[in-house]
Chains A and B, each alone.
Chain A
Amino acid sequence: MRKTESINNNTKIINTDTAAKADLKRLLIYLGLCFGMTWLWFFAVNPKFTRWNDLSRYMASFISLGMLFPVISHVLTRLITKEGFKVYGKDSAMFGISFKDRKWIYFMLAILLPCLITELGNLFAILFCGQLFDPGYPKELDVDFRIFFLQPLAAIFTGVVGSFAAFGEEGGWRGYMMPKLMKLFGGKKTLPLIIGGIIWGLWHAPLTCIGHNFGTDYPGFPFLGILMMCAFCILMGVILTFLTELSGSVWPAAIMHAVTNAQPSALIGFMNDTGVDPVKALWVNWGGMMISLLIVAAVCIFIWRKNKTTF
């Protein structure tokens, strides 16, 4: 009896080991494809490494189409590894949507959280540096100040409708990389979330190097920028993975990502960094956003722990 039990345990260990190896291999294929294709795209489209601010609006958007490669890599990896294309449920691509069991709440959160995060982030930035707040800024820009109060609504709307690019990223990172990382770490979440955030941040490196997120005029450029981006991605990744895990779909994450990119903040219209040291402005803005993300991520982890025992 004991002998059979021991054989069963050994088989289980061997099976888990083989499964982990297969998952690792799949993850590496995905990351190879994703980094390879995206970086190739970034370099092919912008071979002269023109700085982000010097690019035309359309060229910047065209380079941003590189956001579609994570989901393309996800699909290609599934084709290569023959994992199948289940759209919803366990071990699926999580492209499907379900509103059962109050899952619509996560879609609402995906719309509202970016507003809260960006508004709170801007508020912290103003608290750190009061000079940033300029109530007369809309007049200076010759813009009707009421437009800024519409900005969150406009950002939500354009974010939801034009979420395809964000779906491109989330379909890959949240739809493939995170589940694989979590599986590899035996269901534990802390380390996969940190590793996932770092990978996601590094993936942005070519863009950070041309000044996409933080510009180019700061000490330690571009390495510090890459580190800042990794830290941002870790915290943002916690919230996005939380939404994906609990809704069973990548769509809330895609919507949240898209709305965040559209900057759903009314305060931003009253923030004028003219006359503020650019490095200080960068630190204050980034710091404010990080604190805001930290608060929301902590709340997500708290809820997550209550829901799932494996955290």
Chain B
Amino acid sequence: MGGLLYNTYVSMKGKRFVWFFTVMTVLFIAIRMIFPGWRNLTSYISYDLEGNQLNEWDRIIAFFPLFMIVIALEFTNLWVSQCVEKDEKNKIREYISAMPLRKNTYVASKFAYIGIVTYIFFSLGMVWTITAGAFSIDPGAIREADMTQGIMMSIFAVSLFSSGLELFLFLILGKKKAMMIKVGFFLALGIAVIGFLLFGNLLVFEKINWEAIMNWINTHQFEVVLIQILSSASGLLLYFGFYKLTCALYKPEGRIE
């Protein structure tokens, strides 16, 4: 298992990415510590219409965690397909099937690898938001950090779910078919959205009572916390479900034709 994880790490050029994210994190921490929000950077000070002072530097910095989280999620998404694609290309699966390994070890190694990557990115996301928020004085920037931290767990739960589904498709159907399904799905989704924007009744958005939703959130603390826990936990459970399903359907000698 350890060997398979290392193999995936090497084939994904993991070392390069470890360095990239480490350097970015250290640089970000250093920049934030050297230039905190309370440092008098006059060129970054502006005022809103009501005359309140805004710290643009803090606001720019507050975008960094969100930006990096998006990059991290993109990489995870890319690696899911790449780790299967590279194995297909290098005939790793055939090689492994000849080794005295349990049937599910290969599947477990892929799911474990993506799980570890997601965990590391979630942890880095926490470090980035904490760093952004710690040196900010602008209330807007702090709100931004709060929001990023608040939604991060749900974002990564969704990412874990989509990674699980993709791994399932790639391992069971092979790269070509899985890619066709993936591209087909997103194409259909894109067409549906564009179609709705062009011909749909956009007035439905106006009918949404945001105030009532916000009131419900404020007055139903228990339900909100429960939803937060359950939605994030369901991401983990579904990921595990996809793993089990892949194990059940996986053919070690190759993909199902």
Specify the chain B residue showing the minimal Cβ separation from A145: B222
Interface string of A118-144 (1 = CB under 8 A from B): 000000000000000000000000011
Contact assessment for B2 and A58 in the assembled complex, using a CB-CB cutoff below 8 Å: no
Binds B, one of A3-11, A18-26, A157-165: A157-165
Contact assessment for B126 and A157 in the assembled complex, using a CB-CB cutoff below 8 Å: no
Binds A, one of B48-56, B78-86, B226-234: B226-234
A88 at the interface (CB under 8 A from B): yes
CB distance from B21 to the nearest CB of A (A): 13
Interface string of B1-32 (1 = CB under 8 A from A): 01000000000000000000000000000000
A202 at the interface (CB under 8 A from B): no
B215 at the interface (CB under 8 A from A): no
When distances are taken between beta carbons in the complex, the residues of chain B under 8 Å from A79 are: none
CB distance from A183 to the nearest CB of B (A): 24
A96 at the interface (CB under 8 A from B): yes
- The total of chain A residues at the interface (CB under 8 A) is 24
Assembled-state Cα–Cα distance A157/B122 (Å): 14
B127 at the interface (CB under 8 A from A): yes
A61 at the interface (CB under 8 A from B): yes
CB distance from A171 to the nearest CB of B (A): 13
A102 at the interface (CB under 8 A from B): no
* Interface, chain A (partner B; CB < 8 A): 44-45, 56-59, 61-62, 65, 87-88, 96, 143-144, 146-147, 150, 153-154, 157-158, 161-162, 164
Q: List 18 A-B contacts (CB under 8 A).
A: A44-B33, A45-B33, A58-B130, A58-B142, A58-B145, A59-B134, A61-B133, A87-B2, A96-B2, A143-B221, A144-B220, A144-B222, A147-B221, A147-B222, A150-B225, A161-B122, A162-B126, A164-B126
B42 at the interface (CB under 8 A from A): no
Contact assessment for B123 and A164 in the assembled complex, using a CB-CB cutoff below 8 Å: yes
Q: Which of A59, A144, A161 contacts B221, CB < 8 Å? A: A144
Contact assessment for A157 and B134 in the assembled complex, using a CB-CB cutoff below 8 Å: no
Assembled-state Cα–Cα distance A87/B112 (Å): 15
Specify the chain B residue showing the minimal Cβ separation from A157: B229
CB distance from B1 to the nearest CB of A (A): 9
